[in-house]
């Protein structure tokens, strides 16, 4: 646990030093929130926050996993007593925190922008989604990206990463709209998405045990 938290703290400190990446993600998030502020619905709110969270985690996980792998930083870390699972988990946590914060900020901005047109009603399932399910979904995406980036070469990583993002958004759209025909989120949709997020995180958590330091170093040359 201490190693995982140390890795997470290292990632947060490096992201804090690399303000250009954080600013570019924040600008995109605010711009997207503004462009989607003409009308408000719970489904739109959920898709907005989820898309921003996925975009932020996609950008940040590339720095946390792939760039360190290609630059040889991971190879240096492997000289110490760092377990691959602790490294993977710590990088997920260190990437998850800023990605979720940016997603929350964009969600708040989108609500503030439409308050002038009248009151905004947000149901409890949508709030629970934002507070509990969204972080789990983003964590599962980062976990999948982390496994893919550690296990494959750079060219394969880019294709698989985009494919996973499209798959998650397609799954999210189906699960949200399947049980109801309204613009509100139901508890049934919330439960289905939570189960899907847990399943998506379980898969790489099991597969990461098959990773080896030799495999990671070998594919860093691709």
Domains of the chain: which residue ranges?
2-219
Residues 6 or more apart whose Cβ sits within 8 Å of residue 136: 194, 197, 198, 201
CB atoms within 10 A of CB 222: 12
User: Each residue's pLDDT tens digit in the chain (222 positions)?
Assistant: 688 888 899 889 888 887 788 888 888 888 877 776 666 677 778 888 888 888 888 888 888 888 888 777 777 777 777 788 888 899 999 999 999 999 998 888 888 877 766 667 788 888 888 998 899 889 988 888 888 888 887 777 777 777 777 777 776 666 655 545 455 677 887 888 888 888 878 887 888 888 887 878 777 765
pLDDT of amino acid 40: 66
Instruction: Provide CB contacts within 8 A for 73, sequence distance 6+.
Output: 67
What pLDDT, on a 0 to 100 scale, did the predictor assign at position 22? 82
Between CA 208 and CA 149 the distance in angstroms is 11
- Report the pLDDT value the prediction gives residue 148, as an integer from 0 to 100: 84
**Distance (Å, rounded) from C-alpha 89 to C-alpha 95?**
10
Q: What secondary structure letter does DSSP report for 208?
A: G
Spatial contact of 193 and 137, defined as CB atoms under 8 Å apart? yes
In three state form, how does the secondary structure of 6-62 look?
Answer: HHHHHHHHHHHHCHHHHHHHHHHHHHHHHHCCCCCCHHHHHHHHHHHHHHHHHHHHH
Closest to 167 measured CA to CA, from 199, 205, 189: 199
Give backbone dihedrals phi and psi of 38, rounded to 5 degrees, phi first: -70, -30
Which residues, in sequence order, are CB contacts of 126 under 8 Å at separation 6+? 42, 45, 46, 184, 185
pLDDT of residue 207: 81
The pLDDT assigned to 93 comes to 92
């Amino acid at each position: 646990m201490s190693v995982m938290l140390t890795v997470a703290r290292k990632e947060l400190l490096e992201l804090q030093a690399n303000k250009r990446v954080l600013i570019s993600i924040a600008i995109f998030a605010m711009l997207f929130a503004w462009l989607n502020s003409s009308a408000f619905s719970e489904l739109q709110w959920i898709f907005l926050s989820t898309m921003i969270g996925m975009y932020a985690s996609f950008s940040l996980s590339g720095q946390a996993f792939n760039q360190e792998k290609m630059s040889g930083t991971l190879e240096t870390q492997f000289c110490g007593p760092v377990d691959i699972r602790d490294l993977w988990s710590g990088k997920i946590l260190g990437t998850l925190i800023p990605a979720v914060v940016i997603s929350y900020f964009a969600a708040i901005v989108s609500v503030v922008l439409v308050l002038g047109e009248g009151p905004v009603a947000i149901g409890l399932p949508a709030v629970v989604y934002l507070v509990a399910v969204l972080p789990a979904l983003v964590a599962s995406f980062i976990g999948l990206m982390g496994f893919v980036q550690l296990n494959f070469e750079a060219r394969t990583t880019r294709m698989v990463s985009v494919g996973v993002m499209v798959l998650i958004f397609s799954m999210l759209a189906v699960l949200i709209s399947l049980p109801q025909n309204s613009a509100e989120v139901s508890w049934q949709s919330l439960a289905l998405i939570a189960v899907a997020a847990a399943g998506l995180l379980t898969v790489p958590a099991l597969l990461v045990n098959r990773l080896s330091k030799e495999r990671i170093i070998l594919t860093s040359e691709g």
